[in-house]
Amino acid sequence: MSEDPATPDDAEAGATVDGRAVIQAALKTMPGVPGVYRMLNRRGEVLYVGKARNLKRRVGSYANRTGHTNRILNMISATASIEIVTTHTEVEALLLESNLIKRLKPRFNVLLRDDKSFPYIMIRRDHEWAQIAKHRGARDRDAEFFGPFASAGAVNRTLSALQRAFPLRSCSDSVFESRTRPCLQYQIKRCAAPCVGRIERDDYEEIVHQARDFLTGKSHEIQQRLASLMTTSADSRDYETAAMYRDRIKSLAHIQAHQGINVQTVDEADVIALHQEGGQTCVQVFFFRGGQNFGSRAYYPSHAQSLEPPEIMTAFLGQFYDSRPAPKLILTSHECEQRNLVAEALSVRAGHSVKISRPQRGEKADLVRHARDNAGDALRRRMAESATQRALLEGIADTFGLEGPPERIEVYDNSHVSGTHAVGAMIVSGPEGFMKNQYRKFNIRNEDLAPGDDYGMMVEVLTRRFKRLLKEDEDRSSGMWPGLVLIDGGRGQLNVAKGVLEDLGLSNVPVAGIAKGPDRNAGRERLFLADGREMRLEPRDPVLYFLQRMRDEAHRFAIGSHRARRSKAIGTSPLDEIPGIGAARKRALLHHFGSAGEVKRAGLADLEKVEGISHNVAKVIYGFFHDDA
């Protein structure tokens, strides 16, 4: 694989970008081999990433004057340079294309915005007594992994029921090694207590084997085996053991009942169905492993309204499986462009054969129809929620006198305890609700601020936020500029925010304040506008509820960030630097005095009163904080 720029001379690009001339100039040196091309604008931002069997032929098609959609024409007109990466094969180009799209997020590509990893159930084999646990992340340890599960809730429910059916340990190695008597998990019959010898090794291994068989699709055989053991125990009048097997069978039935769909002809497959409506798309993914349904998840890829389902499906498959292995079978609701090529690329990445199929009849077709119905329902719910959100944003615009519904609202709040571990917080809301990947926290750095100086903290937070925004996006083309800045506070906080924005030359950024009413009663909030007006909304006004929700979310995020910083500070205090002060003495000092600052101010006699602190140790502590000791 090799990479080289194919960029025309500045003279040819001219002061105004002529995308077609840029492409024609790039073609002069472009090879006719497989690879990936990137189209960039004048600021060097990637507009589009594409792959080609023949780079010269594919990129050359953009130089044609006809046959392009409006989306492609807009992309061509914005193109100022082209970069290419040559590859050995078209499959390699397809894999690279998917990776670059996920990493660079070009605005003219189909983008899969939700890229959270999936949880698995893990049975560890790197310990004498196997552990069963939830796992998320790299699968690089000596263990067997079963999944993926669609959500943490799905894996937690399954794991809880599994522990009732197969009482394997879930504790960490350190806890396991330190046990001297059975824990609560043993008392509630969710662990066989191998840590204290309550089960023989062979019997424990048999339970591990049963759990593995169940998770790999042999649930019927396991249930028959447990039923046989229950009958045998009952016949021999060992009713306690029989009841134990009965409870294990009930737990397995509970897992299957919550899976909803059970299939006979599908062992390992992902069912991927797409539904389009109102220019939007929902892709629903169901996970089947070992003949069991491990849940589903809905995705809403970003794309141009003119794109057809096959192109969206192809882009989705490439990005969805870029960071996770594909199963042996993928069932889709729509055809995939270059299906065989995509299947070959996924096979290379997964390390086993992958088949992509669009079933027309039978049980597999029923699964796809079910997934597509779910996609339609999810998209309609999302559109209804978006319509409600849009109405609320229009109400915000009317309330604060904005030119139109804000696409981005930033809400700011501070949190501290007597000025210590102060944190500023920014949450973001938009047409699709809270945008949690846009949240930001600001550790207050100004050491000259008086404890509890909320105004000074707000100055620092807003200055840092908008200075950086001016530096990174001066022409305001990224969509990161707020249509409204909302300050949690009254007239004073609002005036501080206005002053910061005016000093930065941003007086045109709308800003307002929201303060709780008398006695901090919700529903009697006062709104402070930048023009000096003060107003209240009716207690049951939906816009007021929306404002309260945003303010409460900012408050929650600020407090959480503050607590995290405070906990970290407690974990790394000045006491750690004192010779002879270990974890136990540090804990005793903090419990006695409350903080490292109080330890510093304590006298020698006070230090000696702490449990575990002798006269000599007290002298060491006192001397550490007082040079003349």
**159, 119, 127: which is closest to 143 by C-alpha?**
127
With cut-offs at 50, 70 and 90, classify the pLDDT of residue 1: low
Q: What is the pLDDT of residue 605?
A: 85
Q: Which CATH class is domain 409-568?
A: alpha beta
Please report, for the chain, the start and end positions of each structural domain, with discontinuous segments joined by +: 2-104, 119-259, 269-380, 409-568, 573-625
CA 528 to chain centre: 35
337 is written with which tokens? 């462009």
Q: Say how many C-beta atoms besides its own lie within 10 A of residue 182's C-beta.
A: 15
Q: What is the pLDDT of residue 628?
A: 46
CA dihedral 194, 195, 197, 203 (to 10 degrees): 10
**283, 298, 377: which is closest to 331 by C-alpha?**
283
Q: Which of 48-62, 93-107, 311-325, 565-579 has the lowest mean pLDDT?
A: 565-579
Beta bridge partners of 51: 36
Write 6-11 long-range contacts (CB < 8 A, 24+).
Answer: 6/30, 6/82, 6/83, 6/84, 7/81, 7/82, 7/83, 8/81
Share of the chain above pLDDT 70, in %: 91
Average pLDDT of the chain is: 85
Fold classification of 269-380 (topology level): Nucleotidyltransferase; domain 5 (3.30.420)
Fold classification of 573-625 (topology level): DNA polymerase; domain 1 (1.10.150)
CA dihedral (235, 241, 245, 246) positive or negative: positive
- CATH for 2-104? 3.40.1440.10
Distance CA 214, CA 42 (A): 57
Q: Which of 88-97, 154-163, 296-305 has the lowest mean pLDDT?
A: 154-163
Tens digit of each residue's pLDDT (9 = 90 or more) over 38-67 = 999 988 999 999 999 999 999 999 988 888
Q: What is the pLDDT of residue 553?
A: 92
Q: What is the mean pLDDT of residues 573-592?
A: 78
Distance CA 119, CA 104 (A): 25
- Is pLDDT above 60 for 262? no
**Single-letter code of the amino acid located at 628:** D
**128, 247, 132: which is closest to 199 by C-alpha?**
128
Distance CA 353, CA 320 (A): 17
Distance CA 269, CA 436 (A): 31
CB 170 within 8 Å of CB 239: no
Starting at the edge strand that comes first in sequence, how are the strands of the sheet with 119-124 ordered?
A: 131-136, 119-124, 143-146
Tens digit of each residue's pLDDT (9 = 90 or more) over 141-170 = 788 898 888 888 778 878 887 888 889 998
Q: DSSP string covering 299-338, please? A: E--B--TT--HHHHHHHHHHHHTSSS---SEEEESS--TT
Total count of residues recorded for the chain: 629
CB 1 within 8 Å of CB 85: yes
Q: What is the pLDDT of residue 15?
A: 34
Q: What is the pLDDT of residue 202?
A: 92
3-state secondary structure of 519: helix
- Is pLDDT above 70 for 228? yes
With cut-offs at 50, 70 and 90, classify the pLDDT of residue 316: very high
CA dihedral 112, 117, 119, 125 (to 10 degrees): 140
Q: Which residue has the higher pLDDT, 165 or 494?
A: 494
Tens digit of each residue's pLDDT (9 = 90 or more) over 342-357 = 999 999 999 999 999 9
Which pTM does this prediction carry? 0.67
Q: What is the mean pLDDT of residues 97-124?
A: 87
Q: Which residue has the higher pLDDT, 82 or 390?
A: 82
- Is pLDDT above 90 for 96? yes
3-state secondary structure of 461: helix
Distance CA 372, CA 378 (A): 10
Tell me which DSSP letter residue 423 carries.
E
Distance CA 526, CA 62 (A): 56
Q: Which residue has the higher pLDDT, 626 or 3?
A: 626
Q: How far apart are the first and last CA of the chain?
A: 68
With cut-offs at 50, 70 and 90, classify the pLDDT of residue 571: low
What is the greatest pairwise CA distance in the chain? 95
Q: What is the mean pLDDT of residues 372-386?
A: 89
Q: What is the pLDDT of residue 115?
A: 62
Q: Is 269-380's fold the same as 573-625's?
A: no
In 392-454, beta strands by DSSP E: 409-417, 420-430, 433-434, 440-443
Q: What is the mean pLDDT of residues 512-530?
A: 78
Q: What is the pLDDT of residue 139?
A: 79
**Angle between the 219-235 and 201-215 helix axes, to the nearest 10 degrees?**
140
Distance CA 189, CA 592 (A): 39
With cut-offs at 50, 70 and 90, classify the pLDDT of residue 618: confident
**Single-letter code of the amino acid located at 464:** R
Distance CA 69, CA 48 (A): 15
- Is pLDDT above 50 for 477? yes
Q: What is the mean pLDDT of residues 525-545?
A: 88
With cut-offs at 50, 70 and 90, classify the pLDDT of residue 513: very high
